[in-house]
Chains A and B, each alone.
Chain A
């Protein structure tokens, strides 16, 4: 086995060259390159993590914006509804007031007309009594020759009318 039988002759060379190559490896590759590669990996991981965090923040922001928009929309809808209701109520009120006013006017005019009619009726009745009294006086004068006054005739007419 050369590893054992040659050991006395070759150990110096083996150790010498191993220390040189392994030392170069350690300082050039291990200390020079590995930290840079590890740093690259770490930087990438940090970047990915940061990007994910930013995306999460953006998502939350979007949610918040949407929530605010929804709240705005709700408020606007409520406000519009209230305005519509108010306008409706106002319109109903004003219509009612107008109808009432028209009713009042109509009632007033009817009142006037009724009064006029009543006056006319009373006037007519009064003139009817006068006519009836004159007719009665004329009838009495013609039939009995008694000359009664208009007042007596009118009284008689009133009595007849009252007793029906």
Chain B
């Protein structure tokens, strides 16, 4: 491992962004290099595209692959229908793209590509810039749909039904704050969950490696339990990968419901 310098394993090294091939592309003062992060975005895109391609046979009686793809589209469209109502069908392309991108990025980041020499897996969704942009896109769609559909009446979202007139200014401010916090909580939740899981896995992996290096006694005492724990945590992280993608898509559809139906 590149991070194992002098016997030390840096659990943060996995999050380091560096240009593929080492060349920086600076365009108009901005560094738009094709980094390892961009590479894994492309890998996610291609993997998802290939997965979806298997569902495009459009047979009356679906095969296994087509049934899997239809399961995902059905899952997203039923989530939108149950949260937003019939108007939610409009958002299926966006929420599906969001859900599948996060899900594939999370799972690809967990897969043990590191066993192939020279390949360093990278979790795109463990970066605040990525999750933040996705959260901002979701929030922007909510604002555009909300103001586009209801105009200034959209502000009535911040005054729940049955609020006493005296309380309206205070409630308005509180509701507005909670509304404005949404993109941050949305982006931070995914970023923190993925980062924490990957750090935990890397720390445990360091225990396993260092335990082996320190001799058989330490190996039995440290490596074995750490390795067993790693197996469990890896399974848990696979679950978290799916749950975080679901939470992101679910919250987006809940917010879209506010924008479309105003409570």
A-side interface residues toward B, CB under 8 Å?
1-4, 6-7, 9-19, 21-22, 24-26, 28-31, 33-38, 40-41, 44, 47
When A10-B17, A33-B55, A41-B74 are in contact, do A3 and B127 touch as well, CB less than 8 Å? Answer: yes
Mark B38-80 against chain A: 1 for CB-CB distance below 8 A, else 0.
1001101100110011011010101000000110011001000
Given the known inter-chain contacts A12-B31, A16-B30, please indicate yes or no for A34 contacting B73, CB distance below 8 A: yes
Does A7 contact B128, Cβ atoms closer than 8 Å? yes
Are the C-beta atoms of B41 and A31 separated by less than 8 Å?
no
User: By the criterion CB–CB under 8 Å, are B12 and A1 in contact?
Assistant: yes
User: Which of B60, B94, B195 touches A30 (beta carbons < 8 Å)?
Assistant: B94
Task: Establish whether residues B37 and A17, one from each chain, have CB atoms under 8 Å apart when the complex forms.
Answer: yes
Task: Find B127's partner among A14, A16, A21, A44 (CB 8 Å cutoff).
Answer: A14
Binds A, one of B129-137, B171-179, B233-241: B129-137
Residues in A neighbouring B128, C-beta threshold 8 A? 3-4, 7
Q: Which residues of A contact B139 (CB under 8 A)?
A: none
13 CB < 8 A contacts A-B: A2-B12, A2-B15, A3-B15, A3-B126, A7-B129, A16-B30, A18-B130, A25-B100, A28-B49, A37-B69, A38-B77, A41-B74, A44-B62
Kindly supply a per-residue 1/0 record for chain B positions 6-46, scoring 1 wherever the CB is within 8 Å of any chain A CB and 0 otherwise.
Answer: 00000010011100000000000011111101100110110
The answer to whether B225 has its CB under 8 Å from any CB of chain A is no
CB distance from A37 to the nearest CB of B (A): 5
Are B129's CB and A10's CB within 8 A?
yes
A114 to chain B, nearest CB (A): 101
Cβ-closest chain A residue relative to B53: A33
| B85 contacts A by Cβ under 8 Å | no
Residues from chain B with a CB closer than 8 A to the CB of A36 are 56, 58
* The residue from A2, A26, A29 contacting B17, defined by CB atoms under 8 A apart: A2
- Report which residue of B52, B124, B128, B191 has the largest number of chain A beta carbons within 10 angstroms of its beta carbon: B52
Q: Is B148 an interface residue (CB 8 A)?
A: no
Does any Cβ of A come within 8 Å of B101's Cβ?
Answer: yes
Instruction: List 6 other contacts, CB 8 Å, given A3-B129, A10-B37.
Output: A1-B15, A14-B127, A21-B41, A22-B133, A22-B134, A30-B94
Asked if B147 is an interface residue, CB under 8 A from chain A, the answer is: no
Q: Say whether B129 contacts A29, CB under 8 Å.
A: no
Does residue B97 face the partner (Cβ distance < 8 Å to A)?
yes
Are B93 and A17 touching (Cβ within 8 A)? Answer: no
Is B92 an interface position by the 8 A CB rule?
A: yes
B96 proximal to A (CB < 8 A): yes
Which A residues lie within 8 Å of B12 (CB)? 1-2
Do A6 and B16 form a contact, CB below 8 Å, given A12-B31, A13-B35, A26-B97?
Answer: yes
What chain B residues lie within 8 Å of A22 (beta carbons)?
A: 41, 97, 101, 133-134, 137
Give Cα distance in the complex from A15 to B35, angstroms. Answer: 12
A38→B191 CA distance, assembly (Å)? 31
Distance between Cα atoms of A107 and B126 in the complex (Å)? 128
Chain A residues with Cβ below 8 Å from B52 are: 29, 33-34, 37
A17 touching B41 by the CB < 8 A rule?
yes
Whether the Cβ atoms of A6 and B69 lie closer than 8 Å is no
B44 touches A26 (CB 8 A): no
Q: How far is the CA of A4 from the CA of B188 in the complex (A)?
A: 12
